Amino acid sequence: MAGKKKHKQGDNVIAVNRRATHDYFIEDRIEAGLSLQGWEVKSLRAGKANISEAYVTIKDGEAILLGATINPLKNSCAFVVCDPTRTRVLLLNRREINKLIGQSQRQGYTIIPLRLYWKGSWAKLEIGIAKGKQEHDKRDSLKEKQWQREKERIMKKNF
């Protein structure tokens, strides 16, 4: 009996947008596929991606990822013109796109990429529907995070 390989959570993650949880309240998360070229897949396997400056827009009924950087490998792009910051189409259902349109245009939410990861052999992007935090909200969440760490240290020390 051949069993499936179990991957740890950290094994399949390519890039994480750490600033997203600091700058935004994440209301909802959606998994989207990416339309990629061959050299981009090779670069993602090598871990050469950055989504910290990226954002998602809806244009002509499509979700588009802008500002994500996928740096090409030196040996895989000899004859192909590589643009590391090209716009990439996100693969979503019509219902999901309509939901994104409704929440971003009518309700004032922002669509941001949270995580780029592998699901099987497919590259997936987790996008979040978010509202921006104000400065005092950022301070409150930082205090809460520090308190959780301190609480863990105290509990570990007592046991």
Condensed to tens digits (0 to 9), the pLDDT of residues 17-37 reads: 988 887 888 889 999 999 998
What pLDDT does residue 8 have?
52
Question: Has residue 76 got a pLDDT over 70?
Answer: no
The CATH-assigned architecture of domain 13-133 is: Beta Barrel (2.40)
For 144, list phi and psi in degrees, rounded to 5: -65, -40
- pLDDT for res 1: 43
Prediction pTM value: 0.76
The confidence score (pLDDT) of residue 7 equals 46
Query: What would the 3-class secondary structure string for the chain be?
Result: CCCCCCCCCCCCEEEECHHHHHHEEEEEEEEEEECCCHHHHHHHHCCCEECCCCEEEEECCEEEEECCEECCCCCCCCCCCCCCCCCEEEECCHHHHHHHHHHHHHCCCEEEEEEEEEECCEEEEEEEEEEECCHHHHHHHHHHHHHHHHHHHHHHHHC
Please state the length of the chain: 159
Q: What is the pLDDT of residue 112?
A: 93
Among residues 33, 32, 34, 19, which one has the least CA distance to residue 130? 19
